[in-house]
Homo-oligomer: A and B are copies of this chain.
Amino acid sequence: MIDVNLVREAVKHRKARSEEFLGFEYLRFSDDYKDIPRGTVIFQDTVVWGYPHIGRIFMLERGLREQFKAPFWVEEKVDGYNVRIFKIKDRVIALSRGGYICPFTTDRLEDFIPLEFFEDNPDLVLCAEVAGPENPYIEEYPPFIEKDIGIFVFDIMPKGELKFLPQKEKMELIEKYNLPSVKVLGRFSVEDVEKLKKILLELNEQGREGVVLKEDSPENRRAKYITSYANLNDIKVTAKNMLQLPPEYYTNRILRLVLFMEEEGIERTSHLYEQLGRAFIDGLFDAIEQFKREHKVYRSFRCRFKNKENAVALLELLNRTTRNIQVIERDLKKEGDYWVLTFDKVFLNMTGLLGHLLSGGLVFD
């Protein structure tokens, strides 16, 4: 249960705010507040906790020894955005990590999730990753999704509780309801580290993000471990809009990349050096060339909806919640069974800086 006094305090400190969206009214934690994670939401008679942070290990072998006291399940980490899906009143909805009701994910749920799961289990929350080239939030996606999106369940939480069902129960429910899920790579112990290193090297070569490790014990300790590919790719994809992210985003990823190489015994080749340099330089050139052509730096997104009003609601949500980004609708039209929305995100910081620099402006740094 959630402590009512703590909730009052959080509201007073502006860490929790009222939201009204898609016909729902609820309280949303916009930041962590004491033990309550960001993204926790409180509806009239339902609490859904925010998905808790999972710590990252930078060294596989030493990290396993340090963090785990029992065997653990290893699951693939899919590169997408985190949602929590559950039934409320008569609808099934999807919340973003930050606790917003996502009109896009909510719209598309029925295409991917057998909804009878929620008829039988109204008190359970599916925690899932949404990934693919046609999503409205992030530019990266795993190599195994060629179009549209996929939804991949990786945890199940009871409503009102900050805990997960044990792996066995989760896997049984996934099987019973034929839920789409992340790949479970197996149950391992610390002694299997060489096997795990081999798996990680393969994931790296296939351009996959990494793994989440979940201890098979009541304590359910957790950690994640990311491939050097994913770190390089993060840099490559975001360099065009470098000012939007905190600069630590880049320095952290370079450090992780080097530690992955170190642990996996990957040699420092010209090719690897070149990939890192290219990740930064090509993204920035791309921004400069686009600015010169169109006087703004932007990226186009495309995603499809069952219902037109959800597309409109998504644009409204993006405009309200993204900072330093202007969202411009390009097109919304029916294609077969779907409404296809295309829009641009204009990166205002990068656009402003390049405007200043390319016209000969002075910078004091």
- Contacts from A to B (Cβ < 8 Å): 53, 55-59, 61-67, 223, 242-243, 246-248, 250-252, 254-255, 257-259, 261-262, 268, 270, 272-278, 280-282, 284-285, 288, 357-365
CB pair B285–A277 under 8 Å, yes or no, is: no
Across the A-B interface, the 4 shortest Cβ-Cβ residue pairs? A247-B247, A66-B360, A62-B360, A276-B277
A sample of 13 cross-chain residue pairs with beta-carbon separation below 8 angstroms, ordered by A number, consists of: A55-B362, A56-B365, A57-B360, A58-B363, A63-B362, A66-B360, A248-B365, A254-B284, A255-B284, A268-B282, A272-B277, A273-B277, A274-B274
List residues of chain B with CB within 8 A of the CB of A246.
247
CB distance from A130 to the nearest CB of B (A): 22
Bound CA span A255–B286, Å: 12
Mostly, the A contact residues are: helix
Partner of A281, one of B243, B258, B357: B258
Given contacts A53-B364, A248-B247, contact A62 B285 (CB under 8 A): no
Question: In whole angstroms, what is the CA distance A285 to B268 when docked?
Answer: 10
A282 to B261, CA, bound (A): 12
Supposing A273-B281, A277-B273, A357-B259 touch, asked if A364 and B62 sit within 8 A by C-beta, the answer is no
Contact: A281 with B285, CB < 8 Å?
no
How far is the CB of A356 from the nearest CB of chain B, in Å? 9
Q: How far is the CA of A261 from the CA of B282 in the complex (A)?
A: 12
CA distance A247 to B251 in the complex (A): 7
**Contacts of A57 on B, CB cut-off 8 Å?**
360-363
User: In the complex, what residues of B have CB within 8 A of residue A67's CB?
Assistant: 360, 362
